[in-house]
Each structure stands twice: as structure tokens, then as C-alpha cells.
Amino acid sequence: MEYVNTFIKAIFIENMIFAYFLGMCSYLAVSKTVKTAVGLGLAVIFVLGFTVPINYLLENYLMKAGALSWMGPDYAAIDLSFLSFIMFIAVVASFVQLVEMAVEKFAPALYASLGIFLPLIAVNCSILGGALFMQERQFSNVGMATVFAFGSGVGWLLAIVALAAIREKLRYSNVPPALRGLGITFIITGLMGMAFMSFMGISL
């Protein structure tokens, strides 16, 4: 039950975009058509779902204060937590690189359709943000961290696909010139965020 709660919470109540604004840059840049939005969203789910558990294990068995005690009592006093940023980003960057190579080799069709989105994900704040939130919230085991990661990814996909759909329709409306493009996108996202706020009352 706890797993389901974490999953739902990560999708709706603590939505990456509407509650924390993570991954905003690619969210605004790649939401022009629904098709590309779905591609990027799936890639984010995939990368988040793998990097957060990896980072969780690294955090708990390598970097936390006392995490090295499995190597022997001499190592119990070591606290490497100040290195966590560099570790997380290295994991994310190398994982993205690996995935890119694997996809290129084994699924060229998928690679062609994802195109530039894969490398872009390395600098998508939502991936590193997922790792940092995982660190801040102290999940009890690696399963919870994985569920949280997938939930966050699904929430991100939901948000970007919704915005892309609205922007496709928006092309037919008459927006004031100075608000065209970026400005109206911000305001739409704000309104969508208000709609998502209605989930806040749900306590899980």
C-alpha cells in the first residue's frame, strides 16, 4: 500500500513540474507537438527509473556517514556525503551516454525517433532533481526509491503531453503579440499548476 501511495503522490501531489518546476527548460522547449513530447516523456521515465535506484544504492552504501561500515570498522567514521552532487551527476551523465549507445546499436528506429532528446536528458533538471529529492526524503529501501522515480517520470510525461496538446490547439487562437510564444506558455503552465493544486488536499 505504501508503494501505491508513493507512486500516486509522486505523479499528482508532488508533480515534478507543477510543484517543483523541475525539467522546466526542456518542458518549455520541446512541448510544441504532442508526438515529440511523448518521446521525451518516455525517455525521462526510463532514465529516472534507472538512475534514482543506482544513486540510492551509491548514497546508502558509499557516501552517507557510516555507509562504508560494511568494509570494516575502520571505515565507519568516513562521511563522503559532500561528494554526492558530483557522484549523482556523473552517474546520470554516464548512464545517458550508455543508454544512447545501447539504443543506437539495438534499436535504431527508436534512436532515430528520440534523436537529440537522449543527450539532452543529461542536463534535464528533473533527473538530478529526482536523485536529490531521493537523498532528502530518506526512503526506507531501494524499492520505494524506484517507485518514487517512476511516479515522478509519469507525472512529468503527463504534464508535458498536456501542455503540448494545449499548445497545438493554441495555434488557432489570437494571442496578443507581446505575449505570443513564451509568455502565454508560462501563463498556461501556471493555470495548469492551479488545476493540479486541487490534488494537494488528498492525504495519502
Overall size of the chain counted in residues: 204
**Closer to other proteins at the Cβ: 125 or 142?**
125
Which of 3, 61, 70, 186 contacts other proteins by CB under 8 A?
186
- Least distance (Å) between residue 199 CB and other proteins: 13
Of 72-80, 123-131, 142-150, 161-169: span binding other proteins (CB under 8 A)? 123-131
Cα–chain center distance at 1: 23
Let me know: does 23 contact 17? Beta carbons within 8 Å.
Answer: yes
Q: What is the DSSP string of the chain?
A: -HHHHHHHIIIIIT-HHHHH-TTHHHHHHS-SSHHHHHHHHHHHHHHHHHHHHHHHHHIIIIISTTGGGGG-GGGTT---GGGHHHHHHHHHHHHHHHHHHHHHHH-HHHHHHHTTHHHHHTT-HHHHHHHHHHHHHT-SSHHHHHHHHHHHHHHHHHHHHHHHHHHHHHTTS---GGGTTHHHHHHHHHHHHHHHHGGGG---
Which of 178, 198, 201, 203 contacts other proteins by CB under 8 A?
178
Q: Kindly identify the residues of this chain, within the stretch 34-63, that bind other proteins according to CB under 8 A.
A: none
Of 24-32, 55-63, 99-107, 144-152: span binding other proteins (CB under 8 A)? 24-32
- Least distance (Å) between residue 41 CB and other proteins: 16
Let me know: does 158 contact 25? Beta carbons within 8 Å.
Answer: no
**x/- map, 144-163, other proteins, by CB under 8 A:** --------------------
Of 39-47, 138-146, 152-160, 180-188: span binding other proteins (CB under 8 A)? 180-188
Of 57-65, 147-155, 162-170, 173-181: span binding other proteins (CB under 8 A)? 173-181
Q: Kindly identify the residues of this chain, within the stretch 88-107, that bind other proteins according to CB under 8 A.
A: 88-90, 93-94, 97
Q: Which residues bind other proteins (CB under 8 A)?
A: 18-26, 28-29, 82-86, 88-90, 93-94, 97, 119-120, 122-125, 127-129, 132-133, 136, 176-187, 189-194, 197
